[in-house]
Amino acid sequence: MTDIALQTRGLGVKYGNFHALAEVDLQIRRNSVHSIIGPNGAGKTTLFHALTGRVRASSGRIELDGRDITDTSDDDRVRLGIARSFQVTSLFPNLALRENLRLAAQGRTPWQALAPWRRAEANAEALAIADEVIERLALAPVSNRLAGELSHGQQRRLEVGMAMAARPRVILLDEPTSGMGIDDIEAMKQLIRDLGRDHTVLFIEHNMGIVMNISDMVTVMRLGRKLVEGPPAQVRDDPEVQRAYLGNM
């Protein structure tokens, strides 16, 4: 297996005649935290849509562990291991936190196809995954609380946990700290840093302090293209980035 979990080559996306992404080459290293930054309209969300299959690439290719997935459906990409953490709306508010995670862990199991005796075993496996994720989320004290009754910060951590529970190859996080207070931001930073030890994490973030603090690599985008890429310190000191963007993000 190569060191690169996810790769794009010359990736382009068009909305009508408008090029929202053009010639984007990305290499996301396995077990790393890679952030995508750029001013409004840079194409960050479109990139995530293209990686998850929500929008089609108009040019170029996408590879997951060396396998070309450019033409696979969004459902197939979930099965192949691309997990995107969605907003709080994807949680089941009337189920306990642990139950949400159990369901997320079961997500990839074709339940109906299992023999009845296998179902009990699969359920136990899913609960074990849920408990492992709860530990890593540092949410054990509230694991039996209904998801709808958790604080905003806890719900955002649970969203990340839902992606983890599916045992993905790559986790995409879309502004995981948006709308959070200082304490919750700190907890999320620690979670993402911890995740990067044994997961491949790609995340969009507007808060530069967080980006510089927890990223192994940073890609700066502008007008649908990659502008600069490198480790945080290098990107921060890049005159082009400083001139054009840092005041703007």
Contact footprint for ligand ATP (CB under 6 A) = 15, 18, 20, 38, 40-46
Considering the complex, state which of residue 38 and residue 176 has its C-beta at the smaller distance from ligand ATP: 38
Considering the complex, state which of residue 88 and residue 122 has its C-beta at the smaller distance from ligand ATP: 88
Cα radius of gyration rounded to whole Å, the chain: 18
How many CB atoms lie under 10 A from the CB of residue 132? 15
CB 177, min distance to ligand ATP, A: 14
Query: What count of residues does the chain have?
Result: 249
Specify whether the CB–CB gap between 2 and 211 falls below 8 A.
no
Considering the complex, state which of residue 22 and residue 165 has its C-beta at the smaller distance from ligand ATP: 22
Q: Phi first, then psi: give them for residue 98, nearest 5 degrees.
A: -65, -35
Could you write out the DSSP letters of every residue in 36-53?
Answer: EE-STTSSHHHHHHHHHT
CB 140, min distance to ligand ATP, A: 34
Report the alpha-carbon distance of residue 138 to residue 156 in Å, rounded: 13
Supply the DSSP symbol for 146.
B
Considering the complex, state which of residue 66 and residue 179 has its C-beta at the smaller distance from ligand ATP: 179
Considering the complex, state which of residue 18 and residue 117 has its C-beta at the smaller distance from ligand ATP: 18
CB 185, min distance to ligand ATP, A: 18
Considering the complex, state which of residue 8 and residue 46 has its C-beta at the smaller distance from ligand ATP: 46
Euclidean distance between the first and final Cα of the chain, in Å? 36
Q: Which two tokens stand for residue 6?
A: 């996810």
CB 112, min distance to ligand ATP, A: 35
Supply the DSSP symbol for 15.
E
CB 81, min distance to ligand ATP, A: 23
Q: Is residue 204 classed as helix, strand or coil in its secondary structure? A: strand
